[in-house]
Amino acid sequence: MFSRDEFLYSPVRYSFKQNTYEWFDQIPMDNQVFHWDVSSFLSMISYNYVLGQKTLLREIRRNSWISTFQGLEEVSLPIPEHDYNYFPNLEIANKLKSLLKVEILNAISEYREIYILLSGGLDSRILAGLIYELKRENLLANKNFTAVTWGIKNSRDVIYAQIVADLCDINWQHIELGPLDLIENLNLASFQLGGLVSAVHLHKMNWFKNISPNSLVMAASYGDSIGRAEYSGKHLLQLELIKPKDKFGLFIPEYQEIAIRELESELLLLRSRSISKEKFILVEYEMQAHYMRNMIAHAMSIIRRNCEIYQIFTAPEVYKFIWSLHPSIRTNEIYNQILISFNNAISSVPWARTNKALSGQTKYINRFAKTSYHMYEDWIKYDLIDDLFAKIDLDWINSIPYFNQIALNKYFDLIKQRKSKLRFKAYDLFLWFVQLDMLAKRITLKNSEIKFMPIEKSNTQIKADDLFVEEAFLENKYLNKFTKKMFFVYNNYKKKEILNKYLKSYELKIK
């Protein structure tokens, strides 16, 4: 069932010289000529993922989202449509819960040893609760479940995940996360994933190389996007269509123009497959195809190198039902109803994001737990910075003609200074530059050449706006602890406002 192409999570395949490959490092790299794709560079730097079918190398492509192969020919499949049905929250929750149970039973049917990725978030908590309920219904005979949580010991995610596992009667294992994991993940992200995601997204995924290859890992990474229509903390109706741009002023104008034009073409390829041209539908397709598939799922394919992984919420029956609903009713309340139905107190365990239960009385709260399960920024800035600079050839990075060298040097100076107010994005990007250099060295060791895209440069003197480059990577100086909290409150208010407004605008469609 894992090869079903209409699933939201379907393994990527790479195309190179009329052949397809399951893994990036299976592609023959010996004695080849490649070209660095400037549009992929811009996409990676601006969004943390590469749009569409692109890779960092122009000669290598990925298969498109929701597609299949007929022989060696790729065929795009129809993308399921959205609708505007409206039902009470409890009815939606019961239907979704029933569909998820069927999805889980189908996924685990051929496996005995099953691992659950469990965090302090809501999605994996739903998965744990469903396993708990299926056990009580005697539908999981001869199945062994272990919940796995990675992160620093005293973090909310680790503390609350253990509580949820105990309440759901699931064995629990904690995996410590530390700075050396980033070094290991640099190699994995560079060579196995083709530099298409940053090492900070791999966490402790390579731990699963230690388990039996006949095991199954279950995750709920798609839960927020499907169950609650939330992408990166924002509701679907709050989001805009992707608009390519040079967010940090690192590209020279000529290459910036080419990159933006090519990314816009890539975006149009997906939009042209949609029957509806309504914005929120196109936004959802973009977030699923570009963000969820090309970043979240691509990072988690590291697990799949060692054993099978399955993402719940991705079966067609599940997401087609959710997409049939009016988008304004895809909210936390659906999750709340499901959690309450388990009758085992997990609905009262704090959500790691807010340190409060989703609704009702909060129990098991730990007011001293760290809000984040990692310390990536500190590890990069203080533990690893010297090692990372030793790994990267800055002369080669500066020789890349796509970049404004003055702006790029300004950026690297900010990293070297370890400015306390730099956004985490600045350090995340630095890791990607290290990965890029590592990938280039690996390919050239195979007697291959990687060229840059030629262009006629103008004679105009290129100047860098030092203030723009610096401010682009600095945190907003006005966001102290109090204003961050107020911003969170305001964002929730605006979300409710837009949901109500959107619902009223479609009253005729849902009557």
Neighbours of 458 (CB within 10 A): 10
pLDDT at site 10? 85
pLDDT at site 479? 45
The 10s digit of each residue's pLDDT in 89-99 is 999 999 999 99
pLDDT at 393 over 50: yes
pLDDT at site 455? 77
* Mean of pLDDT over the chain: 90
DSSP 48: S
pLDDT at site 70? 84
Q: Is 287 domain-assigned?
A: no
Lowest-pLDDT range of 38-47, 175-184, 308-317, 502-511:
502-511
Q: Is 504 domain-assigned?
A: yes
Residue 216's H or E segment, with its range, is strand 216-219
145: phi then psi, degrees, rounded to nearest 5: -115, 140
Q: Is 505 domain-assigned?
A: yes
Q: Is 34 domain-assigned?
A: no
Range of the domain at 498: 481-510
Indicate the pairing of strand 144-150 with strand 230-231.
Answer: unpaired
State what percent of residues in the chain have pLDDT above 70. Answer: 88
Average pLDDT over residues 65-85: 90
Q: Is 27 domain-assigned?
A: no
Neighbours of 400 (CB within 10 A): 17
Token pair in block for residue 261: 């034009």
Lowest-pLDDT range of 183-197, 223-237, 325-339, 415-429:
415-429
- Band the pLDDT of 69: cuts 50, 70, 90: confident
Q: Is 506 domain-assigned?
A: yes
- Band the pLDDT of 478: cuts 50, 70, 90: very low
Q: Is 159 domain-assigned?
A: no
Average pLDDT over residues 219-240: 95
Determine the residue type at 115.
Y
pLDDT at 466 over 60: no
pLDDT at 72 over 80: no
pLDDT at site 129? 98
**Separate counts of helices (H) and strands (E) for the chain:** 19, 14
d(CA 121, CA 373): 11
Q: Is 158 domain-assigned?
A: no
The 10s digit of each residue's pLDDT in 341-375 is 998 899 999 999 999 999 999 999 999 999 999 99
The 10s digit of each residue's pLDDT in 131-172 is 999 999 999 999 999 999 999 999 999 999 999 999 999 999
Quick check: 161 and 128 in contact, CB under 8 A?
A: no
Question: SS3 sequence, 31-53?
Answer: CCEEEECHHHHHHHHHHCCCCCC
Q: Classify residue 463 by burial, with Cβ atoms within 10 Å: 0-12, 13-18, 19+.
A: exposed
Q: Which residue has the tokens 């895209």?
A: 453
- Band the pLDDT of 58: cuts 50, 70, 90: very high
- Band the pLDDT of 503: cuts 50, 70, 90: low
pLDDT at site 489? 59
362 Cβ neighbours under 8 A, 6+ residues apart: 348, 350, 356
Average pLDDT over residues 450-468: 62
166 Cβ neighbours under 8 A, 6+ residues apart: 172
| Tally of domains within the chain | 1
State what percent of residues in the chain have pLDDT above 90. Answer: 82
Average pLDDT over residues 40-58: 96
Quick check: 193 and 60 in contact, CB under 8 A?
A: no
